Homo-oligomer: A and B are copies of this chain.
Amino acid sequence: MIVCKFGGTSVANAQQIKKVANIVKANPARKIIAVSAPGKRTDDDIKVTDLLIQLANSVLQGVDIELKLNAVIERYADIASELGLDDTIIQVITSDLNERLASDKSEKAQFMDNIKASGEDNNAKLIAAYFSSIGMPAKYISPKEGLIVNDLPERTFALPETYVNLSKLAHVEEIIVFPGFFGYTKAGVLRTFDRGGSDITGSILASAVGAELYENFTDVDCVFSANPRVVNCPVEIKEITYREMRELSYAGFSVFHDEALMPVYKQGIPVNIKNTNNPDAPGTHIVPKRPAAGSPVTGIATDSGFSILYVSKYLMNREVGFGRRLLQIIEEENISYEHTPSGLDDISVIMRSHQLNDEVEARIIKRVKEELHAEDALFRHDFSMVVIVGEGMRHNTGLAARAATAISNTGANIEMINQGSSEVSLVFGVRSQYENQILKALYEEFFAHTTV
């Protein structure tokens, strides 16, 4: 059994949904599909989810909503009519939306979640109706039937019973169309996944039914070995391990959100990233293990927006607990950090800059100086991280030297090197201005010469 997930652009209009039907039809093993809300049809289009957010905001602000509500319904109506469906499905969607709009608004976040999630929910109903209309027996199934999430709005995840509940779906005869992006608490409150929405739903379904494969359909042919906006025609990644994929996602590189991999990772279920618009392309396979291939490097990712907190104190390394106390201060500011390179008398904490502002920085500096008696404490900004990823590259003698040499040859100074824990990655910190130049140089070093 294969679980498929179709992203927003894969279900943006009637033409796309027909492609989805053909893909599902082409392999009888494709029995469960998770769908997103209709995405952008063109670059300057508005996603249904964004229309729904506008609608919910208008309701909460008490302004007239008619135009906004119509815009949402018209998107579905256009799709339905092009798919040759009769008016029934639009009546279902309209009454669903009206019911949600009339629901309790005392908890604004809950109300917003409820309106937003209708995008996926109603699209699943529409797609199930379309499948049935063309002779593909299909059934819409609501997350109410078992996708139970915790009651922590900022950090929604599926509870263990979800996997038991949804395992039943393996025995449904029809093709199941399941809306992505949300679940319900035990008390019946709808909650959306904060990140990677529909990808997580697909991954949960694949795990629950013990799928042989989780196909994640999107609008790219594969995962590339480097950002194609920077590197010309980068090598396509055919096969990548979970942990390689995770390390690449460090730099926002991943096609889908890393947390979405968790449920399938736990079961060892392989993932295939494929293109709805080119389903014959093999795509990228994410697997638990893979044989060592030619190049030690699988991919290179870069990301900007990092800051460094530098703290120094003479004889710091003689103080048991210094590092731990520093991290405690950072933690108390609710900041997560990436790396903590250290010398004898100094330690740096590397974190994403968006978590900082002048006030937070001043507070941290003050505490570090007063509570830890640091001689020096300061923030530096505008750093990028460059991540080189490859299974087994740790044991490739000379790889770090090659990478450092390639970076230095661009004229950039290496501000940080982090190697020594991950078996599959090597991280360099550099000034952001050099980021693209370095990515090109590293790609040249590790890929350009390997193509035959």
Contacts and interface: CB of A to CB of B under 8 A. Distances in A.
Contacts of A420: 308, 339, 341, 348, 350, 415-418, 429
A346 B420 CA distance: 10
A258 B405 contact: no
Nearest to A335: B320
Given A315-B259, A324-B327, A429-B420, A345 B246 contact: yes
A317 interface: yes
Interface in A320-346: 320-321, 323-324, 327-328, 331, 334, 336-346
A412 interface: yes
B338 A340 contact: no
Nearest to A396: B413
Contacts of A412: 397
Contact of A419 (B417, B421, B425): B417
B398 A408 contact: yes
26 contacts: A246-B314, A246-B345, A247-B343, A250-B317, A259-B315, A265-B314, A266-B314, A310-B421, A317-B338, A320-B334, A320-B336, A323-B327, A340-B340, A341-B419, A344-B422, A346-B422, A346-B423, A350-B420, A394-B413, A394-B415, A400-B414, A401-B408, A404-B405, A415-B420, A417-B419, A420-B429
Interface of A: 242-243, 246-247, 249-250, 258-259, 262, 265-266, 308, 310, 314-315, 317-318, 320-321, 323-324, 327-328, 331, 334, 336-348, 350, 394-398, 400-401, 404-405, 407-409, 411-425, 427, 429
